[in-house]
Chain A
């Protein structure tokens, strides 16, 4: 076995120059948001903010100009998104569209699809969600049952997706569906389709989560008529396309920065009189953030070079999620603050929010057991 090591690559200077511009923008735009709002991280929804980012030309960074993008490097995008996350900016509206839908349509879509869907994404006006999970298909994604059947007008869609983040606020879903019946080859017969969520037969029901918010949804399709060009990429190649998409979905800074808000409130709460335990734990969190970021940037260089870094992305997501989950626990263990839903104490409020949402960090985007399975397979162990 040869362990695939990951050499560090620095962010090039031309991408670094964006950093201060983003910081200045965020200072004027969102510095008055409460710590509690910042803790929402990439779950904070604000379409006006997304449109403002589009105006600044900070969306669709890696997309060619022809489709409304900036034709810049993956590093430029990295700098912008990590600054947004670090500041707790409300990025949920456009997040998935910018992260994976636009690159997916660019890579696999037809010219018409690119011209239709990508420019509004780059303007921060068009929002997408991911339709993979179903009531009976979570980790075992290949067992999905939602199906699109060919008819004279295109495709007739029936079935149900669940846990669909943001569906109630989105214009489109890119869904993995069956386009032919299950066969010997479990990964065959699936395709990715773009679904306009305003079509007749689509019903979206928000599902309240543990913290009382409704970020994810149940989405039901009853005889939804899709046009014949609804399929993205090749019919029957949905599985392979989804796997390629996952490298974008799993390697980014959102996989280890979800709890950064509580690092900030904790540090300010303990202040200059911090005791040795508090200093040590805060130092550890800083170190781990720094190290995971180095890995994440190194993976960005692979994306930039057109490689598929799924294996390393799985490492970052697994370690990053465990780390994001550990941070609120550490914060609770080193300072006597009782978490509070509302109290006026920013640390108590952020703590309350993150303790409740932390369990989801290692579920969304694939569980730790599934990621470790991918890592083991990559090492040739299975």
Chain B
């Protein structure tokens, strides 16, 4: 049973998202009605405290929202807005109305103004606001920027044709700025994005597992449904395993919701979900045969996202290198306590 928040999300998506809508989004058409329903439902404010006008859902509850967003391949920055608002609220900045996204990059802060380029910003140009970090010396600040204040904006697309834009700022005055609280550091937004992607990947994997099992039950070769072949059953079993592993690991990361620089459950979830995305997509395509390679059949909406999301907010290799580096620096004896506790003694 999904919690109330996820049920709300599921209802909106079921009602609003169709193949036609996904195709329009592929062509760059913004699903205005879908977004309006999402923002009216308060989902983007899930992780914001009630005192600040939010819903005060737990990270555990928010996991299912992000999961469902992935399961429906929702072509809107819901999870970006949700986590951006969380960080704003953590820094006591009021969450603005409109579309807010986040960037993993860090700007330079001087005399209260920020400069630099933000690459790979999800729905950056379409958004009204961007949450990013800005650094002055060693001190990191959270800044809220107006996208329209960018001096240049380049539209870029990932493989799922989701906008991943580059916006450049030059001595821009942020809408709001606040120092990061002590439990967050310069990797917080990267971790926040990675956390969201791990849940979306889990949702998309769940969906392609279901699609694949259903297809294998319908497609007949050699006079029977291909699911009757043991070879196919064994492949679907492996696909299901990947889906469950990614799910539990992402759920764990949300449960821990630990953005500390030495914690590991978010990096783990991103590594695991990214690897499961690779294996799972390959299995689903293999079992679908040629039909899964067509534009007509919907598998690609999910596999193109899986291939994109696994690389965003840190690939499996990026995060594995971070973990491995911490282990090699701190020695073998640091590994088991890191796995069973809250991460490494020192920053990863």
A interface residues (Cβ-Cβ under 8 A, vs B): 1-8, 10, 19, 82, 86, 260, 263-265, 267-268, 270-272, 274, 276, 278-284, 286-295, 298, 312, 315, 318-319, 369, 371-373, 375-376, 379, 381-382
- A262 CB to nearest chain B CB (Å): 10
Nearest opposing residue in chain A for B217, CB measure = A381
**Do the beta carbons of A265 and B243 come within 8 Å of each other?**
no
Q: Which of B186-241 contact A (CB under 8 A)?
A: 206, 209-210, 213-214, 216-217, 227-228, 230, 233-234, 236-238, 240-241
Contacts of B328 in A (CB 8 A): 267, 270-272, 274, 278-279, 282
Give Cα A373–Cα B230 distance, bound, in whole angstroms: 8
* Nearest chain A residue, comparing its CB with the CB of B269: A291
CB closest residue in chain B, given A266? B332
List 12 A-B residue pairs with CB atoms under 8 Å apart, sorted by A's residue number: A270-B328, A272-B329, A279-B321, A280-B321, A283-B319, A283-B320, A290-B265, A290-B339, A372-B237, A376-B234, A379-B236, A381-B216
Which of B216, B264, B331, B339 is most buried by chain A, counting CB atoms within 10 A of its CB? B339
Given contacts A280-B324, A315-B240, 9 further A-B contacts (CB under 8 A): A260-B336, A264-B332, A271-B331, A318-B237, A319-B241, A371-B237, A372-B234, A372-B238, A381-B217
Contact of A379 with B213 at beta-carbon distance under 8 Å, contacts A8-B251, A286-B338, A372-B233 already known: yes
Q: Are A283 and B321 in contact (CB under 8 A)?
A: yes
B180 touches A (CB below 8 Å):
no
The answer on a CB contact under 8 Å between B324 and A278 is yes
CA gap between A319 and B276 in the complex, in Å: 12
Q: State A291–B202 Cα separation when bound (angstroms).
A: 13
- Asked whether, in the complex, the Cβ of A293 is within 8 Å of the Cβ of B339, the reply is yes
What residue of chain A has the Cβ atom nearest to residue B334's Cβ? Answer: A267
The residue that A7 contacts in the complex, of B227, B238, B251, with Cβ under 8 A, is B251
The reply to whether B340 and A82 form a contact with Cβ atoms under 8 Å apart is yes
A1–B340 CB distance below 8 A = no
Is B216 touching A282 in the complex (CB atoms < 8 A)? no
For the complex, what is the distance from the CA of A199 to the CA of B337, rounded to whole Å? 46
Contacts of B238 in A (CB 8 A): 318, 372
Q: A283, A292, A369, A372: which contacts B324 (Cβ < 8 A)?
A: A283
Given A267-B327, A267-B331, A287-B319, A376–B236 Cβ distance below 8 Å?
Answer: yes
- Contacts A280-B320, A287-B272, A292-B245 given; indicate if A376 touches B237 (C-beta within 8 A): yes
Residue of A264, A268, A284, A319 with most partner-chain B CB within 10 A: A284
Please give me the residue from chain A that is nearest to B216 by CB atom. Answer: A381
Q: How far does the Cβ of A120 sit from chain B's closest Cβ, in whole Å?
A: 31
- Whether A281 lies near B320 (C-beta < 8 A) is yes
CB distance from A13 to the nearest CB of B (A): 13
Judge whether B286 is part of the interface by a CB distance below 8 angstroms. Answer: no
- Complex Cα distance, B227 from A4, in Å, reads 19
Residues of chain A within 8 A of B210, CB atoms compared: 1-3
Q: Is B323 an interface residue (CB 8 A)?
A: yes
Min C-beta distance of A48 to chain B, whole Å? 24
A379 to B214 CA separation, bound complex (whole angstroms): 11
Contact residue among B233, B244, B324, B333 (Cβ-Cβ distance under 8 Å from A312): B244
A286 to B333, CA, bound (A): 13
Given contacts A274-B328, A283-B319, contact A263 B335 (CB under 8 A): yes
Contact A283 B323 (CB under 8 A): yes
Is the beta-carbon distance between B245 and A287 smaller than 8 angstroms? no
Chain A residues within an 8 Å CB radius of B327: 267, 282-283, 286
- Please give the distance in Å from B255's CB to the nearest CB on chain A: 5
Q: By the criterion CB–CB under 8 Å, are A3 and B237 in contact?
A: no
State A264–B333 Cα separation when bound (angstroms): 7
Given A283-B324, A287-B267, A381-B233, A295:B240 Cβ within 8 A: no
Judging by beta carbons under 8 Å apart, are A287 and B320 in contact?
A: yes
A interface footprint on B261-300 (CB within 8 Å = 1, 0 otherwise):
0001101110110010000000000000000000000000
Question: CB-CB < 8 A to B206: which residues of A?
Answer: 3, 5
Assembly CA distance A372 to B251 (angstroms): 24
Q: How many angstroms from the CA of A1 to the CA of B215 in the assembled complex?
A: 11
Q: Inside 8 A of A372's CB, which chain B residues have their CB?
A: 233-234, 237-238
Q: How many Å lie between the Cα of A289 and that of B252 in the bound state?
A: 13
CB-nearest residue of chain B relative to A376? B233
B19 close to A (CB within 8 Å): no
B316 is an interface residue with CB less than 8 A from chain A? yes
Decide yes or no: A381 and B236 within 8 Å by CB, A280-B320, A287-B319, A291-B245 being known contacts: yes
Which residues of the partner chain B approach A19 to less than 8 Å between Cβ atoms? 340
One of A6, A82, A282 near B247 (C-beta < 8 A): A6
- Most chain B CB within 10 A, of A279, A281, A286, A375, is at A286
A260 to B327, CA, bound (A): 14
Assess whether B347 is interfacial by the CB under 8 Å rule: no
Across the interface, which residues of B come within 8 angstroms of A373, CB to CB?
230, 233-234, 237
What's the Cα separation between A19 and B243 when bound, in Å?
A: 31
Inter-chain contact A283/B322, CB cutoff 8 Å: yes
B235 shortest CB reach to chain A, Å:
9
Minimum-distance CB pairs A-B, first 6 = A283-B324, A283-B320, A279-B324, A283-B323, A376-B233, A372-B237
A110 CA to B228 CA in the complex, in Å?
A: 43
Known: A7-B251, A8-B252, A291-B268. A315 touches B245 (CB 8 A): yes
Q: What are the residues of chain A within 8 A of B227 when measuring CB–CB?
A: 381-382
User: Is B249 among interface residues, defined by CB-CB distance under 8 A?
Assistant: yes
Please, which residue of chain B has its CB at the minimum distance from the CB of A273? B328
User: Closest CB-CB distance, A287 to chain B, in whole Å?
Assistant: 4
Chain B residues whose CB sits within 8 angstroms of the CB of A10 once the complex forms? 255
Q: Is the CB of B252 within 8 A of A288?
A: no
Chain B nearest CB from A199 CB (Å) reads 42
A281 to B214: give the CA distance in the assembly, Å. 36
Residues in B neighbouring A264, C-beta threshold 8 A = 332-333, 335
Which residue of chain B is the closest to A9 with respect to CB atoms?
Answer: B255
Q: Are A282 and B323 in contact (CB under 8 A)?
A: yes
Q: Which residues of B sit under 8 angstroms from A292, Cβ to Cβ?
A: 245
CB-CB under 8 A from B241, the residues of chain A are: 315, 318-319, 375
A3 touches B209 (CB 8 A): yes
